[in-house]
């Protein structure tokens, strides 16, 4: 890989000790950050020089909970109106996912991945479902990830809702894909063991998933107490709260993600903390589905690691973090939740991602050269102490100019630099979506 020097920009390193640097340049070599130093010290010849004048240089954003497969629902008006979360699943998502082919899964992934590049998002943790085309579906999504040059952790959503045979096929798909990723052992695509939610999983399936996942050394990715319906089902059928049930089956842990956690008790929060399970907040989705607002302020105060995802509502993490803040204010009051929300995106998502990948979410020597360069001239003083304020109230309204992942320039001057033809991809996606909609 050729070296890249980024000069004349304001550099925000992020990490546990964020630094906001002016008069510095950043050198990339072999897909990694080689050096950040005063600009005058760089006097050599470089393969490429990027002039970031009038721009902010910062780590690429991380989306800690995503569903690529939902792409084909965009504009779909055939679902019956839904009055609650379970009706939304039955009327829309569980009808859509049954129709997906592996080709659909590939194009459903390519579209949001291309858009992620436009929004400076370089790593996504995805949760896939296509119950009548399970085998090979994760390989199809992986192809899309590798062709776009981004990073992703993938899993298949195991559920008993379509019968034992489909649950078994989901178990096999996760097992095979995890083993394949471990054999490749690269820093581009990782695998987790996917599970839908407690209320669609039998004890038998949970036990088998836990056995396989632990044998493979993989973490689990599961929707957790997203709706009150999940808790009601668990208490009715198992005499346990959702987090208690997942703990008892060995699903929780440092490598696992509990998405949502809108309806968790103090005892469940303590279990999440004790097991070091990451919680991923998805505020726009929760508001859209009218399931409630997760109390990430309380979760953070109790020592739970809370990250930020989009649940496929967007790939724009700056849009998501703003919504998260407004909803925390609505849930509590305007004096609370600011840093908890900002840190979910700026700090905690990197901590979560680095449980699977290496060197993400911070610009420093030896870390991945995953970078977003954003048009931003601060109109007021900006340093590490107030960077979050600039991010939420200013940078979030700016445009991403250049996106780099693993040292590869994927977009520059707002133009994609991919081998993929975006127009052709969109045309093929539309063709497939039309076929799917006819079957819906």
* Residue pLDDT, tens place only, 312-354: 999 999 999 999 999 999 999 999 999 999 999 999 999 999 9
Q: Which two tokens stand for residue 360?
A: 């993400």
Above 90 in pLDDT, residue 44? no
* pLDDT value of residue 13: 98
**DSSP code for 10:** E
**DSSP code for 376:** -
Summarised one tens digit per residue, pLDDT across range 87-109 is 999 999 999 999 999 999 999 99
pLDDT above 70 covers a percentage of the chain that reads 100
Instruction: Please give the Cα distance from 323 to 328 (Å, whole number).
Output: 9
Mean pLDDT over each residue of the chain, to the nearest integer? 97
* pLDDT value of residue 378: 98
Above 80 in pLDDT, residue 1? no
What confidence category does residue 78 fall into, taking pLDDT thresholds of 50, 70 and 90?
Answer: confident
CATH architecture assignment, domain 4-59+363-416? Roll (2.30)
CATH superfamily of 61-353: Metal-dependent hydrolases (3.20.20.140)
Summarised one tens digit per residue, pLDDT across range 108-125 is 999 999 999 999 999 999
Q: Which two tokens stand for residue 335?
A: 């004096």
* pLDDT value of residue 2: 86
Instruction: Please give the Cα distance from 17 to 305 (Å, whole number).
Output: 17
Instruction: Kindly report the pTM of this predicted structure.
Output: 0.98
**Burial per residue of 8-47, b for 16 or more beta-carbon CB atoms within 10 angstroms, e otherwise:** bbbbbbbbeebbbbeebbbbbbebbbbbbeebeebeeebe
Above 90 in pLDDT, residue 222? yes
Spans of all domains in the chain:
4-59+363-416, 61-353
* pLDDT value of residue 102: 98
Above 70 in pLDDT, residue 166? yes
Quick one: 294 exposed, middle or buried, by C-beta within 10 A (0-12, 13-18, 19+)? buried
Quickly tell me which residue has 């965009």 as its tokens: 74
Q: Indicate left, alpha or beta for 217 from its phi (over 0: left) and psi (-120 to 50: alpha).
A: left
């Amino acid at each position: 890989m050729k070296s890249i020097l980024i000069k004349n920009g304001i550099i925000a390193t992020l990490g546990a000790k964020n630094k906001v640097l002016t008069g510095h340049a950043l050198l990339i070599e072999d897909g990694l950050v080689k050096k950040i130093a005063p600009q005058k010290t760089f006097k050599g010849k470089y393969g490429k020089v990027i002039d970031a004048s009038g721009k902010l240089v910062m780590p690429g954003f991380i989306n800690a909970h995503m569903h690529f497969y939902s792409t084909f629902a965009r504009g779909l008006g055939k679902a019956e109106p839904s009055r609650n979360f379970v009706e939304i699943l039955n009327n829309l998502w569980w009808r859509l996912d049954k129709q997906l082919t592996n080709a659909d899964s590939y194009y459903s992934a390519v579209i949001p991945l291309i858009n992620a590049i436009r929004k400076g998002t370089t790593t996504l943790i995805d949760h896939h479902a296509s119950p009548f085309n399970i085998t090979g579906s994760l390989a199809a999504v992986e192809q899309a990830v590798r062709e776009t040059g981004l990073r992703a952790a993938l899993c298949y959503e195991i559920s008993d809702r379509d019968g034992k045979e489909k649950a078994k096929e989901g178990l096999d798909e996760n097992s095979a894909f995890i083993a394949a990723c471990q054999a490749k052992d690269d820093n581009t695509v990782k695998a987790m063991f996917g599970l839908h939610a407690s209320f669609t999983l039998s004890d038998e399936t949970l036990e088998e998933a836990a056995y396989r996942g632990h044998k493979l050394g993989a973490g689990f990715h599961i929707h957790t107490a997203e709706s009150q319906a999940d808790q009601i089902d668990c208490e009715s059928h198992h005499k346990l709260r959702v987090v208690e049930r997942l703990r008892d089956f060995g699903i929780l842990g440092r490598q696992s993600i509990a998405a949502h956690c809108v309806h968790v008790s103090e005892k469940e929060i303590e279990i999440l903390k004790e097991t070091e399970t990451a919680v991923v907040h998805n505020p726009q989705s929760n508001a859209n589905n009218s399931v409630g607002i997760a109390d990430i302020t309380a979760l953070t105060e109790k020592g739970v690691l809370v990250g930020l995802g989009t649940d496929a509502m967007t790939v724009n993490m700056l849009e998501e973090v703003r919504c998260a803040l407004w909803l925390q204010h609505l849930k509590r009051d305007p004096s609370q939740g600011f840093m908890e929300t900002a840190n979910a995106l700026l700090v905690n998502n990197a901590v979560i991602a680095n449980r699977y990948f290496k060197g993400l979410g911070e610009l420093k020597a030896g870390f991945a050269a995953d970078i977003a360069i954003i048009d931003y001239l601060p109109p007021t003083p900006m340093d590490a102490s107030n960077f979050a304020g600039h991010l939420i109230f200013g940078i979030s309204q700016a445009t991403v100019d250049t996106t780099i992942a693993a040292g590869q320039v994927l977009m520059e001057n707002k133009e994609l630099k991919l081998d993929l033809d975006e127009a052709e991809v969109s045309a093929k996606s539309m063709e497939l979506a039309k076929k799917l909609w006819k079957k819906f």
